[in-house]
Each structure stands twice: as C-alpha cells, then as structure tokens.
C-alpha cells in the first residue's frame, strides 16, 4: 500500500493513522518533497479513474491563488500545473494494487484496509 501524504494535513494524518492501526506499514510518499513525475501522475490518475481536474484541491492553495483560471484550462494544462505545483493535488491518495482513492473524507480508506 502507498499513501501520497502531507504531514501538515489533518485528514492525511488521520488516514495514515487508520492504515497503521490496521497493521499495515504503507510506503509513505510526502508528495510535496518528492512529487510524482508525469509518468507516475498519469498512472495514478488511471488507477483513480479520474482526470487531473478531478484531483485539484478545493481549499488552500488552488489554481485561483496561483492566478490561473481553471475554467479556461484544458485537462493537459491542469496536469502541467499539478506537476509544477504539487500542492494543487488533493490529499491523501491511497494506492493498493491497481486501485486508488482520494481519501477525503478519511473513511474512504476503509475499503483498502
């Protein structure tokens, strides 16, 4: 199991705690320190079954705070923005095998346990 984690995020910490409480030691990727490259992010989106637009953060640092207009951006441009500014990626994301989920709210991790 892998978790794309931000230790400054309460939900991310909660999800990590739930995983560990289930007796699982996941691979922890602090994606702000080690952001996914294009190949990894594209594979992650495929496992999620989502487009880049669908994993954009809705709070905190957003496209708007960076002076970008989501409505005028293509999915490819949003992917580029996430690659350049990984803080734009919603968190936490949990991956197990070929399945992944944005675990917000934290209870979305339960099927992975």
What confidence score (pLDDT) does residue 69 get? 87
pLDDT (average), residues 63-85: 91
Predicted confidence (pLDDT) per residue in 10-65, tens digit:
999 999 999 999 999 999 999 999 999 999 999 999 999 999 999 998 888 788 88
Q: Which residues contact 73 (CB under 8 A, 6 or more apart)?
A: 63, 81
Look up the pTM and report it.
0.93
Banded model confidence at residue 68, pLDDT cuts 50, 70, 90? confident
Q: Which residues are catalytic?
A: 9
> Which residues are paired to 29 by β-bridges?
4
The pair of three-digit structure tokens given for residue 8, joined into one six-digit string: 């400054």
- pLDDT of 66 > 90? The answer is no
> Is residue 103 within 8 Å of 16, Cβ to Cβ?
no
- pLDDT of 90 > 90? The answer is yes
What confidence score (pLDDT) does residue 67 get? 84
Q: What is the mean pLDDT of the chain?
A: 95
For 2-112, give the CATH class: alpha beta
pLDDT (average), residues 63-91: 92
Give the integer Cα–Cα distance in Å for 36 and 85: 11
Q: Return the C-alpha torsion angle 67, 72, 78, 81, nearest 10.
A: -20
What confidence score (pLDDT) does residue 42 get? 97
């Amino acid at each position: 199991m892998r978790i794309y984690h931000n230790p400054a995020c309460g939900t991310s910490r909660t999800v990590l705690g739930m995983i560990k409480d289930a007796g699982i030691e996941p691979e922890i990727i602090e994606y702000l320190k080690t952001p996914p490259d294009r190949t990894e992010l594209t594979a992650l989106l495929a496992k999620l079954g989502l487009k880049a637009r669908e994993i954009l953060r809705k709070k905190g640092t957003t496209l708007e705070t960076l002076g970008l207009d989501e409505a005028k951006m293509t999915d490819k441009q949003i992917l580029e923005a996430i690659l350049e500014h990984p803080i734009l990626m919603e968190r936490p994301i949990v991956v197990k095998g070929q399945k992944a989920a944005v675990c917000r709210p934290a209870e979305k991790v339960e099927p992975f346990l």
